[in-house]
Amino acid sequence: DAGVTQSPTHLIKTRGQQVTLRCSPKSGHDTVSWYQQALGQGPQFIFQYYEEEERQRGNFPDRFSGHQFPNYSSELNVNALLLGDSALYLCASSSTGVGETQYFGPGTRLLVL
Amino acid sequence: LAKTTQPISMDSYEGQEVNITCSHNNIATNDYITWYQQFPSQGPRFIIQGYKTKVTNEVASLFIPADRKSSTLSLPRVSLSDTAVYYCLVGDSPISGTYKYIFGTGTRLKVLA
């Protein structure tokens, strides 16, 4: 049973560019959440997708957008990259229901130069 | 949303039992308590989840008092490989209408030989 997978594992971009990160949820899961983790900090919630709609959003600007596909996989898009966007981006999947345990992928390390 | 407070760091020796306590004074009726382990540059790994009293699995136990304002993760007989950051989260169930996890700074556990 494959767990949550993310691609790419590492990425280097320059300021002002745009980036797309991808996530495939754990088998049987229908909900995908995205988190940003800066070095030495805990993960910060970006948003969550369920039934192809953004269900909840954290305190992130509109430069951060996402999408969920019919097969439950998801993309995170970041426009107009800033140096401060350098971080580990984590995807977590869960199955809608009471408790909603989230299982995390290995993350994508983004470096903005 | 309930916020969690944990000790910033802890040291222990191999073979000892480690107890990490988390405070969540504003926990809501429908909130579950979840603990994750994270190694550097990896996604958080689910350890255990509970709602009340005691939960035990093959790697840890979770103790939750009746008022649910705190919880204690117990790791029996730790080894060097248990050196990691441990996060206590309060996750909202769909009943409450919100779905995001709030990560704190976590507890950095260092296991010494």
Question: What is the average pLDDT value for chain B, to the nearest integer?
Answer: 89
Residue A112 located in a structural domain: no
CA angle A28, A11, B82 (to 5 degrees): 60
- Per-residue confidence band for B102, with pLDDT thresholds at 50, 70 and 90: confident
Q: Do A100 and B91 touch (CB under 8 A)?
A: yes
- Chain B environment of A45 (Cβ under 8 Å): 100-103
**Which pLDDT value is given to residue B64?**
96
Question: What is the average pLDDT value for chain A, to the nearest integer?
Answer: 93
Residue range(s) defining the domain that contains residue A98: 5-107
- Chain B environment of A50 (Cβ under 8 Å): 99
Residue A68 located in a structural domain: yes
User: Which class for B53: exposed (0-12), middle (13-18), buried (19 or more C-beta within 10 A)?
Assistant: exposed
Q: Which of B32, B98, B104 sits opposite A99 (nearest CB)?
A: B32
More reliable by pLDDT, B46 or B3? B46
All domains of chain B in start order, with CATH = 9-112 (2.60.40.10)
Contact, B107 vs B9, CB < 8 A? yes
Residue A81 located in a structural domain: yes
Per-residue pLDDT for B2 more than 80? no
Spell A48-64 as b/e; 16+ CB within 10 A means b.
Answer: bbbeeeebbebeeeeeb
CB proximity B40 to A under 8 Å: no
Per-residue pLDDT for B94 more than 60? no
SS percent in chain B: helix, strand, coil, step 5:
5, 45, 50
- Chain A environment of B46 (Cβ under 8 Å): 101-104
d(CA A75, CA A65): 8
> Count of domains in chain A?
1
Percent of residues, chain B, with pLDDT higher than 70 = 90
CATH of residue A20: 2.60.40.10
Contact, B111 vs A56, CB < 8 A? no
Q: Do B100 and A48 touch (CB under 8 A)?
A: yes
Annotate A13-34 with DSSP letters as a single string: E-TT--EEEEEEPPTT--EEEE
Minimum distance, in Å, between the CA of residue A22 and any CA atom of chain B: 15
Per-residue pLDDT of chain A (113 residues; tens, 9 = 90+): 679 999 999 999 999 999 999 999 999 999 999 999 999 888 999 999 999 999 889 899 999 999 999 999 999 999 999 999 999 999 999 887 656 788 999 999 999 99
